[in-house]
Amino acid sequence: MAIIEISNASRIFGFGDAATIALDDVAINIEKGEFLAIMGPSGSGKTTLMNTIGLLDRPTHGTYKLEGRDVAKMRVNRRAKMRRDNIGFVFQSFNLLPRVSIIENVSLPLLYKGMGQTKRLKRAAAVLEQVGLSEREYFYPHQLSGGELQRAAIARALVNNPSIIIADEPTGNLDSESTRVVMELLGEVHKMGNTILMVTHNPILTRYASRIIYMRDGSIVYDEASAVGELPGRVERALQAVRSSREEERLAGVSDYIRAIPQNKTPARKSQRIKKQTTRTRKKRS
């Protein structure tokens, strides 16, 4: 049985002329244990879909079943409980409380659950060990590197033993080495049987996923299964196209340096003129 079943889901923000359709009739089923990578241009609805799945938002239309239960119309308190018990969030900006030590940050979701302090800290220490941060337990967020902060945020997401981890651009603020460490960690969390939904703008990271969806204008336009550790066919083809055009440019003598020079306005006007001329010639011909 799919852990997430969404059908005909739309999310519209605003009214009338100012309405934005952030999700446009989306249908998706996600099985337990999948590692889903969500890609797509800015504004295509990735975060809206994640917030809907994560019960931070509701679809305006359509149905959503989480673990077989209809959650689209569930009352606020029950939704909050569902969210707390089933979902762990990891955000691009870490979202740790600045004045609270790392171990307390990680144990916070257990406080909301009503767990006693000793048990809470013991559990938080165990997940911090899992993410390799035992030596940073009593540090404060400002004393940690970006990669360490994100590992702490992953520990916080894991502390409740959620069935689903939602990570919205988890490596968006990280350098390449921290990205690697965080992705390896998410890969391990996936191997332990967790379901992971990760939004990313970095095609290389789809290597860690077992399925990739692409969104455009609020719709899922592509959905592809892929072996973990390999790039999905579509991503591989797109990267090859980029590589070969780079290679062509290199052979033609266009260096990165030349490409980095900002264009001034004259060539742009010129190219507009050229465009106009070509359309005129085209018109003449037809």
Ligand X SMILES: Nc1ncnc2c1ncn2[C@@H]1O[C@H](COP(=O)(O)OP(=O)(O)OP(=O)(O)O)[C@@H](O)[C@H]1O
Which residues form the interface with Mg ion (CB under 5 A)? 47
Give the one entry of Mg ion, ligand X, none that residue 138 binds, where binding means its C-beta sits below a cut-off of 5 to 8 angstroms depending on kind.
Answer: none
Site for ligand X in 17-76 (CB under 6 A): 20, 22, 40, 42-48
Q: Which is nearer to ligand X, 20 or 281 (CB)?
A: 20
Enumerate the β-bridge partners of residue 66.
Answer: 4, 69
Give how many residues touch ligand X by CB under 6 A: 12
Dihedral sign, Cα of residue 237, residue 243, residue 249, residue 251: negative
**Token pair in block for residue 72:** 């689209």
> Whose CB is nearest to Mg ion?
47
Stretch of 14-22, 78-86, 157-165, 227-235 lying at the interface with ligand X (CB under 6 A): 14-22
**Token pair in block for residue 215:** 């969104």
Report whether 10 contacts 59 (CB < 8 A). yes
Q: Which is nearer to Mg ion, 47 or 178 (CB)?
A: 47
Report whether 142 contacts 154 (CB < 8 A). no
Question: Distance between CA 220 and CA 52 in Å, rounded?
Answer: 14
CB of 170 to ligand X, least distance (A): 13
CB of 95 to Mg ion, least distance (A): 14
Q: State the CB neighbour count (10 A cutoff) for residue 66.
A: 25
CB of 39 to ligand X, least distance (A): 9
Q: State the CB neighbour count (10 A cutoff) for residue 111.
A: 12
Q: Which is nearer to ligand X, 104 or 169 (CB)?
A: 169
Q: Which is nearer to ligand X, 7 or 92 (CB)?
A: 92
Q: Which of 120, 122, 147 is nearest to 132 (CA)?
A: 147
Q: Which is nearer to ligand X, 13 or 112 (CB)?
A: 13
Residue 172 in the binding site for ligand X (CB under 6 A): no
Q: Which of 170, 102, 178 is nearest to 135 (CA)?
A: 102
Whose structure tokens read 């990669």? Answer: 147
**Token pair in block for residue 244:** 């070969």
Report whether 44 contacts 199 (CB < 8 A). no
Q: Which is nearer to ligand X, 12 or 126 (CB)?
A: 12
Give the one entry of Mg ion, ligand X, none that residue 43 binds, where binding means its C-beta sits below a cut-off of 5 to 8 angstroms depending on kind.
Answer: ligand X
Note the residues at the interface with ligand X (CB under 6 A): 13-14, 20, 22, 40, 42-48
